[in-house]
Amino acid sequence: MSQKRALYRFIPSFLAAALLLAAPSLAAATPEDLIEVHKMELEGNKVGAFLKLKELAPLGDPVAQWKLAGYYHYGDAGPANFALAREWYGRAARQGLPDAMLGLAVMNARGQGAPVDLKTAFVWLTIASHLIEDPAEVQNVNGLRDKYKSEMSSADLNAALAEAMAFQAKPEKP
């Protein structure tokens, strides 16, 4: 095969690899990215932080997903959007981030973006309470969980406990 032909066969592969490496949607969020978001938040630039989180969350970083969910949940950079808040809290929660589990539990308990669902709130609070390290926070989470427990049927309680026990965090792959 001539050198020219070999070069033509190599170029498409090289370009494809270069595009994959350069594509921001396929790169992982870095700690520096989250520091940049935090700095924007401290400076009061909520819109800038929100826009940066919209770039980072799809990369699979659970902290970025949780923070973006909070922006949607509380309307910190525009109108609240409970559907998107649930989506991002859910993605981060399924990866094992307790803060996202708490956000999702709150939304389920309050009926934000869907009907009130104390069973699902109980599940997320139960899982989170086993992952949180601060004893005072665990006590608060357990207190809220027990409040919902008292309002659930035994069948719902048994189903919720089984679901919580079966939970396994699954990191997203970008």
92-134 pLDDT tens trace: 999 999 999 999 999 999 999 999 999 999 999 999 999 999 9
pLDDT above 90 covers what percent of the chain?
81
- Round to whole Å and give the CA distance between 114 and 86: 9
pLDDT of 52 > 80? The answer is: yes
- Round to whole Å and give the CA distance between 100 and 66: 5
| Residue 8: inside a domain | no
| Residue 5: inside a domain | no
| Residue 6: inside a domain | no
What pLDDT score does 1 carry? 44
What pLDDT score does 26 carry? 40
| Closest C-alpha among 110, 107, 46 to residue 78 | 46
pLDDT of 173 > 90? The answer is: no
Query: What CATH number has the domain bearing residue 56?
Result: 1.25.40.10
Q: Would you place residue 27 in the very low, low, confident or very high pLDDT band (cuts 50, 70, 90)?
A: low
pLDDT of 4 > 50? The answer is: no
- Round to whole Å and give the CA distance between 70 and 165: 26
| Residue 34: inside a domain | yes
pTM: 0.82
- Count of the separate structural domains present in the chain: 1
Q: Would you place residue 41 in the very low, low, confident or very high pLDDT band (cuts 50, 70, 90)?
A: very high
What pLDDT score does 174 carry? 65
DSSP 115-145: ---HHHHHHHHHHHHHH---HHHHHHHHHHH
Q: Which helix or strand (DSSP H or E) is residue 105 part of? A: helix 98-110
Opening angle at CA 36, ends 105 and 61, nearest 5: 45
| Residue 112: inside a domain | yes
| Residue 19: inside a domain | no
Q: Would you place residue 23 in the very low, low, confident or very high pLDDT band (cuts 50, 70, 90)?
A: very low
Domain of 86 in residue numbering reads as 28-166
Provide the total of helices (H) and of strands (E) in the chain, helices listed first: 9, 0
Query: In the predicted model, what is the mean pLDDT of the chain?
Result: 87
Lowest model confidence (mean pLDDT) among 5-9, 58-62, 168-172: 5-9
Contact indicator for 63, 34 with CB cutoff of 8 Å: yes
